A = this chain, B = another copy of it.
Amino acid sequence: MTRTIDTRATFSYIGSVLKYLSAAMLVPLLVGAIYGEDAWVFAASMAIGVAAGVALERLDPDPDLGPREGLAVVSLAWLAAAALGAIPYVLAGYGTASALGHPVNALFESTSGFTTTGATALAEISFDRHSHAVLMWRQLTQWLGGMGIIVLMIAILPELAVNGAQLMRSEAPGPELQKLTPRIAETARALWVIYVAFTGVLVAVLYALHLLGLAPNMGLYNAIAHGFSTLPTGGFSPEADSIAAFSPVVQWTFVPFMVVAGVNFALFWYVLRDEATELFENTEFRVYVGAVALLSAVLAVTLFRGGAPATELGGVTAGVTENALRQGVFQIASLLNSTGFATANFAQWETHTKFLLLLAMFVGGSAGSTGGGIKVIRWLILFKTLRRELYTTANPDVVRPVRLGGEVVDEEVIRGILVFTLLYFLVFAFSAVFIELDTTRVGEPLTGVEALAASLATIGNIGPGLGPLGPFGTYEMLPDTTKLLMVVLMWLGRLEIVPVLAVFISAVDDR
């Protein structure tokens, strides 16, 4: 068996991805038309994308994928999307005051969008500097990325009957969607219906609040823009002040939708079929909701007791019940599952309060959600496995399988989770060291915790970090080397590390 990768088949698939993605640029084209903005940027980008896509497709008109090619397509698809998405940024930003004129910033912003990270390289977010079309494209990239992730995690990876399946069996000991809809296309469609429906409801609710006079600045543009970044756990906002720009009622409105974004979308399928008990009895769902509730309560109490100084955005929380509760719940609902919206500048909070946020940021969403990070199900299986290993150390004659929700978890899956989690910690830690040394090199050192938070915010696809990289800050002033590392981190994190490194190591070892 020759161990080479079929690059023609691989790039042919990437071509298709580019072609369809280019069609999505009709949205910013339309927005530009409505606001009377120059349309050539997106027209040109679309032309480039379609041309490149069709050319690549011609490499292999009838591509056939093995496990390696499957992993390569999945890995490269996000990079290709990021590159395509950066084209209109560069075209629009070139020669203007926008940071996007610099290709590294454009690639960073596009990667951040498609990976639903939400870390921004913009120095200033405003319509003075960017067109409505560009800022809507920025929002849309997240929504498209989220759509891709759901299908990837629930439909594609399990079909690659490899350790890609190892990755996936690890994620869906819950409902097996295959039973419900036998083919990938159908599965994808079912999930997209749910994804689109939640987005539609959120946009409608936000706009209704506006019409009712409860959200003066939540016009149709903003409602759609935030709809595009909530369900994918994205976190971009066309408002420089993120969700702090809106009234408390709007802030509360986001909370349930953010929580939903971190839930396994396959579970909602059962709800639609009147089998809601499948949702409420799901172990991962219960632990996820429990973790949000617990950490929200702890953070709210901490804020109430003076865990944060009064700030311009976010106001006074010490001793003010509603505000402490809202800030606590919102920030945890946002950071735990990697959304990254903010209603307060938590970069200015006390150290111990920030530590609670970092703790939440290590949790992650559920399997089969758009959330990033380590994820609840991995933590669950990890703790059960550690407990099993410790018990059998003292009782070597005992055989004890790991169970979740009544079912035995495959040992292969367990090994996959151990490997993923260690890789996650290692990449996170070494990247933090690199970021610290690199920012020092250019004379703009971050503090130690800021470097750690920056690494976590990107590999975990969270978005905001601490210090100058906080929720109302920007990654723009970082050196290009660090920004490029972060592009890699966002990419690795979004694809759950293993597929990307597997293709890479495999290519290196078989040279």
State the A residues within 8 Å of B (CB). Answer: 1, 3, 67-68, 71, 161-164, 166-167, 350-352, 354-356, 358-359, 362, 382, 385-387, 389-397, 415-416, 418-419, 421-423, 425, 429, 432-433, 436-437, 440, 445-449, 451-452, 498-499, 501-506, 509
Contact = CB atoms under 8 A, between A and B. Distances in A.
Nearest to A424: B425
Contact of A163 (B393, B447, B498, B509): B393
Contacts of A506: 390-391, 393-395
Contacts of A71: 393-394
A498 B391 CA distance: 10
A440 B354 CA distance: 12
B386 A67 contact: no
Contacts of A1: 397
Contacts of A447: 351, 447-449
A166 B394 CA distance: 11
Copies in the assembly, this chain: 2
B390 A68 contact: no
Task: List the 9 closest pairs (A to B, CB-CB), nearest first.
Answer: A448-B449, A163-B393, A394-B506, A393-B502, A352-B440, A394-B502, A390-B505, A418-B418, A162-B396
A422 B418 contact: yes
A385 B352 CA distance: 36
19 contacts: A3-B395, A67-B396, A68-B395, A71-B393, A163-B392, A163-B394, A354-B448, A355-B436, A355-B437, A386-B422, A387-B505, A389-B416, A390-B505, A391-B505, A391-B506, A395-B506, A418-B418, A421-B422, A447-B447
B445 A448 contact: no
Contact of A352 (B386, B395, B436, B503): B436
A78 to B, nearest CB: 17
Contacts of A350: 440, 445
A501 B383 CA distance: 13
Contact of A394 (B356, B425, B503): B503
A391 B503 CA distance: 8
Contacts of A440: 350-352
Chain A interface mostly helix, strand, loop or mixed?
helix
Contacts of A68: 394-395
Contacts of A421: 422
A419 B389 contact: yes
B502 A391 contact: yes
Contacts of A359: 433
Contacts of A504: 390
B445 A352 contact: yes
Contacts of A390: 419, 498, 501-502, 504-506
A294 to B, nearest CB: 14
Contacts of A422: 382, 386, 418, 421-422
A499 B393 contact: yes
Contacts of A436: 351-352, 355
Nearest to A411: B415
A496 to B, nearest CB: 11
A359 to B, nearest CB: 6
Contacts of A429: 362
A388 B394 CA distance: 29
A413 to B, nearest CB: 13
Nearest to A440: B352
Given A163-B394, A351-B436, 11 more contacts: A164-B393, A351-B440, A386-B419, A390-B502, A390-B504, A390-B505, A394-B502, A395-B506, A415-B418, A418-B418, A448-B452
